[in-house]
Amino acid sequence: MCLSGSSRTIVEWDRKQELALPKIIVLTGAGLSADSGIDTYRGKGGVYRGIPTETVLSVKTFREDPDLVHGLCDDRRVELAAAAPNPAHLMIGELARTYGDDLVHITQNIDDLVERAGYQGSMHVHGYLTRMRSVGNSKVLRDIGYKRYWSGADGDAPADGYRFRCPKTGSHFRPDVVLYSSMLHQELAPMYPLAYRAMRSLDPEDLLVVIGTEGSVLPVDMWARKATCFKVLNNLHDAADISPGNFNVYLRETAATAAEKILQIAEDHMGRFKAAP
C-alpha cells in the first residue's frame, strides 16, 4: 500500500463519471480485523503497559516518551506477522477482483490484512503499521515489514539495524501512523480529505458498506444519513454514534460471518445495473 496508490483511486473517479457500473465504497474499522486476533486500540482491551492505548499513541506521549510509543508499535508489528486475513478481508479482495476500479476501500485500520487478501488499493486514513516515516522529512518512508524498530532481540531488528536514521536528515524514524491529538498537540491525518471527498462522491446508484466501526472518529453516521444510495451496516454491537436507521440493511454479527452476505448484496446490487439496458 502506498499513499500515491490511494490518491490515484480518487483521481480515477474524477475521470470516470460515465462508468456503466456504479461504485462500491467499503468503509472499515477495527471490527474488520477482530476475527484475525488484531486488538483494538480503543475501548476494552485497548491498554498497553497499564496505560490506555489512546494515551500511548498520542502526539503528547511521542514527544515526552517516544520509547513507549515505539514499544507499542514494535509489539503490534511483530504480532501482525502471526495474524491471517479472515473471510471479511478475503471478501474485500474478491470485490476488488470482480469490480476493479469501481471498488474503493477506506479503512481506519493500520494492519496489512486486506493487502494480504489480494487488494493493494486500500486508503489507510490512519497510516500503515509496517511503514516508518522520517521524523525530519515526512516524505522519506521505509517499510520494515514485521520487524521492530526501536529495540528488541537481534532477530527482530530491521535490515539496517535498530534506530536506523534518515539518509536525508539524520533523524530517527517514527511509525507512519496518525497519533491521537489534542488541542495543544495536533497531528494532521493527510488522507482524511480524500476520505471525505470519496464519501461526498456517493451517487444514488452506488453502494455503501460500513464494517466494524463505532463511528466516533470519522462522521460515519452523518455520511450515511446524507447518502441516498443503498447502505449496509455490519457491526457486532450497536454503536452509540451510528444509527442503524440510516442504513437499508443492518447485519449485527462479526465481519467474518457477514462476509458472504455482504458479497451477495454487492453482487445483487451491481448486477441490477449491469443487466439494465
Query: Is 105 a known active-site residue?
Result: no
Q: How far apart are the first and last CA of the chain?
A: 37
What is each CA distance from 62 to 45, 72, 181, 188, 214, in whole angstroms? Answer: 21, 11, 11, 15, 25
CA–CA distance, 71 with 272 (Å, rounded to integer): 50
DSSP-derived letter for residue 58 is: B
Any residues with CB less than 8 A from the CB of 109 and at least 6 apart, and which? 28, 29, 30, 32, 33, 38, 124, 126
* Active-site pick, 126, 172, 185, 237: 126
CA distance 33 to 91: 12
- Could you give the CA distance from residue 151 to residue 141 in angstroms, rounded to a whole number? 19
**C-alpha to C-alpha distance for 140 and 190, rounded to whole angstroms:** 15
Catalytic residues: 126
